[in-house]
């Protein structure tokens, strides 16, 4: 069916706005763990053998240097979610209290676009994340060709998207993530003021 992008935004936030819970989702082997490790400054960023994430991993870190009213830092809880469909039964629990979703896919892989649409239908629409609570990273792995085999599905047309390559341009990934984080915190603050 047609995916509706205009959905209500369910906001659940700690009273002191101390922590932002974000989900990182997408097909298997698209680079979610590499991106999460990079953003959290955790262990190795790339290289080594591929080890699939079992269920999910939670990375907690602080992001500084933000331009927000009355604060310059935010604590982030980033959930690196497995791309394996065998963990689908965990998805409802994982989405609880989430404030934003980072969709990751590898445009060099055929069928990643179709798989991404499935992720969107659950995490982007069913779980009441509106468009400004989502961002898309088209993650190119090292030495990949410039030919994109998987164009982004229509459901993602209104979301901010960015081609990422940690080896070639790591700063732009962090900048895009920080901008996304600021947007979410600002939207949450605005929502709380209305209550």
Residue 4 has pLDDT above 60, yes or no: no
- Host H or E run for residue 189: helix 170-194
User: 15 pLDDT exceeds 50?
Assistant: no
- Rounded to the nearest integer, the mean pLDDT of the chain is 76
Return the pLDDT at 3.
31
Radius of gyration for the alpha carbons in the chain, expressed in angstroms and rounded: 16
Q: Which residues contact 160 (CB under 8 A, 6 or more apart)?
A: 135, 136, 176, 180
What is the H or E stretch that residue 57 is in?
strand 56-63
Residue 61 is predicted with a pLDDT of: 87
pLDDT tens, position by position, 116-140: 888 888 877 644 455 568 888 888 7
10 Cβ contact partners less than 8 Å away, ≥ 6 residues apart: 127, 128, 129
pTM higher than 0.85 for the full model? no
Give residue 53's pLDDT band: very low, low, confident or very high (50, 70, 90).
low
Per residue in 155-185, is it b (16+ CB within 10 Å) or e — as a string?
bbeebebbebbbeeeeeebeebbbebbeebb
| 73-99 average pLDDT score | 86
Q: At residue 1, does pLDDT exceed 50?
A: no
Mean pLDDT, to the nearest integer, of 61-72? 82
- Higher-confidence position of 176 and 187: 176
The span from the CA of 41 to the CA of 12, in Å, is 27
DSSP 73-142: -EEEEEEEE---GGGGGGHHHHHTT--EEEEEE-TTSTTHHHHHHHHIIIIIIIT---GGGEEEEEEPPT
Range of weakest confidence among 123-137, 152-166, 171-185: 123-137
Strand-by-strand arrangement of the 161-164 sheet: 56-63, 74-81, 19-25, 100-105, 134-139, 161-164
pLDDT of residue 146: 55
Which has the higher per-residue pLDDT, 152 or 18? Answer: 152
For residue 10, pLDDT over 60 is answered with no
Reported confidence tier of residue 16, pLDDT bands at 50, 70, 90: very low
What is the arithmetic mean of pLDDT over 74-79? 91
Rounded mean pLDDT, 144-156 = 66
């Amino acid at each position: 069916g047609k995916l509706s992008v205009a959905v209500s935004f369910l906001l659940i936030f700690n009273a002191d706005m101390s922590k932002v819970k974000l989900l990182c989702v997408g097909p298997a082997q698209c680079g979610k763990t590499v991106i999460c490790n990079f953003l959290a400054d955790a262990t190795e960023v790339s290289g080594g053998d591929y080890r699939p994430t079992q269920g999910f991993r939670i990375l907690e870190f602080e992001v500084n240097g933000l331009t927000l009213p009355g604060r310059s830092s935010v604590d982030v809880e980033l959930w690196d979610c497995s791309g394996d469909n065998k963990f689908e039964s965990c998805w409802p629990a994982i989405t609880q209290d989430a404030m934003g979703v980072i969709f990751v896919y590898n445009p060099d892989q055929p069928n990643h676009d179709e798989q991404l649409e499935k992720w969107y239908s659950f995490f982007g629409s069913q779980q009441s994340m509106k468009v400004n609570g989502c961002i898309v990273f088209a993650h190119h792995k090292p030495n990949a060709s410039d030919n994109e085999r998987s164009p982004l599905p229509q459901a993602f047309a209104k979301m901010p998207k960015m081609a990422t390559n940690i080896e070639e341009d790591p700063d732009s990934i962090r900048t895009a993530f920080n901008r996304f984080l600021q947007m979410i915190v600002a939207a949450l603050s605005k929502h709380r003021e209305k209550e």
